[in-house]
Amino acid sequence: MLVVISPAKTLDFESSPRTQLATMPVFLDDSELLISALKEYSPAELASFMHLSDKLAALNSTRYENWSRPFSPKNAKQAILAFQGDVYTGLDAENLSKEEDDFAQAHLRILSGLYGVIRPFDLIQPYRLEMGTKLSTQRGKDLYAFWGNKLTDSLNADLEASKTDTLINLASNEYFKSIKTKQLNARIITPVFKDEKNGKYKVISFYAKKARGMMVRFIVQNSIEAPEQIKKFNMGGYSFNKAMSSEKDWVFTRPEQG
């Protein structure tokens, strides 16, 4: 079973990593091409087409200028420890054991606008580049065109290597759109998290993102490889709702919080 999630906008490159486990992203040559393209834009231009504040545009312009190879623990950090935000709050990677780290490295993939597909302990340098960004390159008008079939092929290779035919999609729509699902050699299951509000169940973004992270943590801590076992997920007060689920979308609901 392979699991995919999205990256986060919020990053932590100040605190020291808790482990020396570190690997290299597969698509660094492609990342370097994107960085070269991004360096051509002024902070004002970045602010415009990336919809950033002037402050964030200036910060990311500096990040692109400072981005350099080779990557090492001195100038980069493991992705799962660098990303912050709601999903990663739920995942709580800082408190995983070595065995859980190893399981995550084998079964979890993070989709990234800049790095393509990254394993949890692949080193990354600070960046901001959302998958939906319309960054024009020689490969096309946006990042979906830039990555083409590469991310799908990468996941297919991982599925084959791990001898599994199931992918658990815990990524956002923006990122999962980068995968050509008809070419993916896998059954795709998408967990959906709904909270009760005023007597009705609905997806509340903040809670759903955190629940995605908790689902990853549940899978990693329990070394889950059989999809049916994720129906036992019970973290944060959620439980599997068979009546609301379909073959592809597995719905987990939670009673209204006091």
Euclidean distance between CA atoms 28 and 70, whole angstroms: 10
Does residue 258 surpass a pLDDT of 80? Answer: no
Q: Is 36 a member of any domain?
A: no
Q: Is 65 a member of any domain?
A: no
Average pLDDT, the chain: 97
For residue 31, what are its two tokens?
A: 């990342």
Does residue 257 surpass a pLDDT of 90? Answer: no
pLDDT tens, position by position, 113-164 = 999 999 999 999 999 999 999 999 999 999 999 999 999 999 999 999 999 9
Euclidean distance between CA atoms 84 and 10, whole angstroms: 5
Q: Tell me if 58 sits within 8 A of 43, measured CB to CB.
A: yes
Give the chain's domain count. Answer: 1
Q: Is 100 a member of any domain?
A: yes
Euclidean distance between CA atoms 81 and 27, whole angstroms: 19
Q: Is 60 a member of any domain?
A: no
pLDDT tens, position by position, 93-119 = 999 999 999 999 999 999 999 999 999
Q: Tell me if 87 sits within 8 A of 74, measured CB to CB.
A: no
Q: Which domain holds residue 212?
A: 2-25+77-126+134-254
Q: Is 69 a member of any domain?
A: no
Euclidean distance between CA atoms 8 and 124, whole angstroms: 13
Q: Tell me if 190 sits within 8 A of 248, measured CB to CB.
A: yes
Quick one: pLDDT at residue 193?
A: 98
pLDDT tens, position by position, 159-199 = 999 999 999 999 999 999 999 999 999 999 999 999 999 98
